[in-house]
Amino acid sequence: MLEAFITNLGRYNEGYLDGEPLKLPAANAER
């Protein structure tokens, strides 16, 4: 669920910093 939200956010911002930093910690926290 979190991954989908983060992925959508990054795509909405065209992969801006809003999606990059969130993806790193999110992926590590989930694993």
Per-residue pLDDT tens for 18-27? Answer: 545 555 565 5
Of 8 and 15, the one with more pLDDT: 8
Given a cut of 60, is residue 13 above it in pLDDT? no
State what percent of residues in the chain have pLDDT above 90.
Answer: 0
- Mean of the per-residue pLDDT values of the chain: 58
Question: What pLDDT, on a 0 to 100 scale, did the predictor assign at position 30?
Answer: 60
Which amino acid belongs to residue 7?
Answer: T
- Per domain, the residue ranges of the chain are 1-26
Amino acid (one-letter) located at 11? R
Cβ contacts of 20-28, under 8 Å, gap ≥ 24? 26/2, 27/3
CA distance 14 to 31: 25
Confidence (pLDDT) at 7: 62
| Distance (Å, whole) CA 13 – CA 31 | 25
